[in-house]
Amino acid sequence: MSPFKKRLNRVTALLEKHDVDSILVTKPQNVRYISGYTGEDACLLITPLKKYLITDERFALQAKKDVRDFSIVIAGSSLPDVITGLAGKAKIERIGFESSDLSYASYERIKSGVKGAEAVSVHGMIEAIRQVKDEAEIGLIRDSVNILENAVTYFRSILKPGLSENDLAARTEYFIRAASGEWASFELIVASGPNSAFPHARPGERLIRPNDMVLLDLGVSYEGYKSDLTRVFFLGKIDSERKRIYGIVREAQRRSIKAIKPGARISDIDKIARGFINGKGLGKRFGHALGHGIGLEVHESPSISSRNHAALKTGMVFTVEPAVYIPGWGGVRIEDMVLVTRKGCEVLTDDIDK
């Protein structure tokens, strides 16, 4: 059985649990996850008996190439009108929809068009399934990490004083595209000196200087699946304060990763890293979550934060990225991707220089 068929079966099995007799899937990543469709402007209508992928003529060939377990419907009119027509034929009474993705205008048209049917939000239903990666997904994530490793090696080879942050980012993004035919999964962060104190710094015209500290945050998208990594590079002499801060962040990450295993509470993993940094008097300099799930989206469930008290499950893939940011001085963030295994975890990016 294909991975897409297995995922479709899991979604269908959840309809009763969410008290709906159908679901309209509109979020592009969820459409791809369930059906394998790689085009644009499509949605899925799933009932226990009928499964439709609805798109328009521009993507007809793509749909026929990608999709096996759905009836493909090419919309000659607007998607909401086609959806309401199919829903009416299926005699749907309660249709689930993705409230975080479907526009209010489309919701209103579908709600009014499906006579006698109730529209019910099933926000997060498919995202919850996606938290645990299957073997096919893990393989694609590993492929993405392999490309990422080459990109980091390339970045390190060109890093030198006199180049601007923009130049380094552009060259590295071009390398990813030229070497693999794939794309960076988000806008690269290259932040040097005091600019590295901004967690989401954008590359600018600042030139790299001798003895600079340079933060690189990049990811690669491979067949839809993302990778994400942050490294800090030191040029020339490393002063004692940089060594101290870097050592604190690295030790915080090591301790939290050591505690990752099935059943561990996510909030406890965050607490370990945050507690260590707090103990060094730098707690106020680490203001974001410890990490985030990663897969078809760079940021997806689960959030690795103090507010998430859920238990880790085998097959989850997420980042662990403690940090210390000091305005006017700079920032250190070390980010790796981990896979929860039956006995603990595997650091997927462990071979990439720290």
pLDDT in tens, 272-324: 999 999 999 999 999 999 999 999 999 999 999 999 999 999 999 999 999 99
Q: State the average pLDDT over residues 206-225.
A: 96
Q: 10-41 burial, b if ≥16 CB within 10 A, otherwise e?
A: ebbebbeeeebbbbbbbbbbbbbbbbbbbbee
Which of 113, 130, 147 is the last residue before a domain boundary?
Answer: 130
Same-domain pairing of 265 and 159? yes
Based on the structure, what is the number of domains in the chain?
A: 2
Cα separation, 128 vs 124, in Å, equals: 6
Q: State yes or no: pLDDT of 265 exceeds 80.
A: yes
Q: Between 149 and 75, whose confidence is greater?
A: 149
Same domain membership, residue 191 and residue 145: yes
337 and 194, same domain (yes or no): yes
34 lies in the same domain as 110? yes
Output b/e per residue, 312-329; b: 16+ Cβ within 10 A. Answer: beebbbbbbbbbbbeeeb
79-115 confidence digits (pLDDT tens): 777 888 888 888 888 999 999 998 888 888 877 777 7
pTM of the model: 0.95
Q: Is residue 354 part of a domain?
A: no
Percentage, residues of the chain above pLDDT 70: 100
- Has residue 281 been placed in a domain? yes
Query: Residue 353 domain-assigned?
Result: no
Same domain? For 61 and 155 the reply is: no
> For the domain that residue 105 is a member of, what is the CATH number?
3.40.350.10
Could you tell me the residue range of the domain that residue 43 belongs to? Answer: 3-130
Residues 154 and 25 in one domain: no
Residues 91, 163 within the same domain: no
333 DSSP β-pair partners: 323
Instruction: Say which CATH number the domain at 221 has.
Output: 3.90.230.10
Question: Do 295 and 169 belong together in one domain?
Answer: yes
Is 168 part of a structural domain of the chain? yes
What pLDDT is attached to residue 110? 78
Q: Based on the domain organization, do 101 and 150 belong to the same domain?
A: no
Same domain, 48 and 139: no
Q: What is the pLDDT of residue 330?
A: 96
Domain assignment present for 352: no
One domain for residues 200 and 249: yes
CA distance 99 to 7: 21
Question: Residues 217, 222, 224, 226: is their CA dihedral positive or negative?
Answer: negative
Do 57 and 117 lie in a common domain?
Answer: yes
Among 130, 149, 180, identify where a domain stops.
130
Instruction: Give the span between the Cα atoms of 241 and 210, in whole angstroms.
Output: 17
